[in-house]
Structure 1
Amino acid sequence: MNDQSNAPKFGKAVHATPESAPEVPGRRAFFSYRDLGVTEATGGKMRAQLTTADKGMTESTGWHYHECEAQFVYCTSGWVDLEFETGESVRVQAGESIFIPGGLKHNELRTSDDFQILEVSVPADMGTVPCEDPRG
């Protein structure tokens, strides 16, 4: 009897290396992005990419939100300053993470020159929508 109870339910296994993860276009011209193969492996249910600052960001991205279920960010080096519609401001540094629910308005204020994050979104196709400062 063929037991399917342990069959993969979310996609296929994928292994990314620095050599195999291609650079891909991204949301911001001042960052470079590497695709870790998760979008294809999950049929678009999830995306994982490595985002690296080409140079520290000194001007904010402007207020925006993402059309997705959720975004998870783990900072591998450097830092990023963020502010949220809730009034909270946070600096996410190397070794720290942040979970951002889809639709939460936020603004990226600045990054260090050595800024790099692992970013995961559900689903893979995550739209960015500019918006007014929600705090007035």
Structure 2
Amino acid sequence: MDESSTTSHQGSDKARAPVRLSVATKDNTPFVPGRRVFFKYRDLGVSAATGGRMRAQVMSAISGMTEPTGWHQHLCEAQFIYVLRGWLELEFEDGTRTRSVPGDAILIPGGMKHNEIATSDDVEILEISVPGDMRTKACDPPGH
């Protein structure tokens, strides 16, 4: 086997630590603090395995939302959400408003203003962010 076939999985940036194998199960993935009080967050070990370059977690409703989160943006490159169960309503700065159900996915560019309007009482979402340390910043609604 030539060298290119054995190292291609590591990418071209030799300065970064390699991505490590991580196998997440319900038994070995802890709940961690998160952004919203109505969700519980299960860390899937991706941040540790990638040196923080990305994060994956499952967000499960403790209860449905009682009011919108308010307009905010995430300080990251991208946030990806995939609905596993229930539903989620979002609105975006470009006027898009969506109700996402199981099997639906949304890629939100970093810095894009959005507002979570409502969720079902049983919503469960896979969320991935790049980089792993995604911060949230409240902002004015679009056009203000």
Normalised to the residue count of structure 1, the TM-score between the two structures is 0.95
**Is the contact between residue 58 and residue 109 of structure 1 (CA under 8 Å) also seen in structure 2?**
no
Correspondence 1:86 to 2:94: yes
Q: How does 1:49-128 map to 2 (within 5 A)?
A: 49-128=57-136
1:14 Cα shift? 0.5
2:140 alignment partner, one of 107, 132, 135: 132
Higher normalized helix content (fraction of residues): 2
In structure 2, what residue type is equivalent to 1:3? E
- In structure 2, what is the Cα distance between the partners aligned to 1:26 and 1:6? 38
2:48 aligned residue:
40
CA RMSD of aligned residues (A): 1.4
Which digits, 9 at most, give the CA deviation of each residue in 1:80-104, with x for residues without a partner? 0000010110011111100000000
Give the C-alpha shift of residue 13 in structure 1: 1.1
Q: What TM-score do you get using the length of structure 2 for normalisation? A: 0.90
How many residues of Structure 1 are paired with residues of Structure 2 in the alignment? 136
- Offset of residue 34 of structure 1: 0.3
| Structure 1 position 3 matched with structure 2 position 11 | no
2:31 is the counterpart of 1:18? no
- Unmatched 5+ residue regions in structure 1? none
Is the radius of gyration larger for structure 1 or structure 2?
A: 2
Identity %: 55
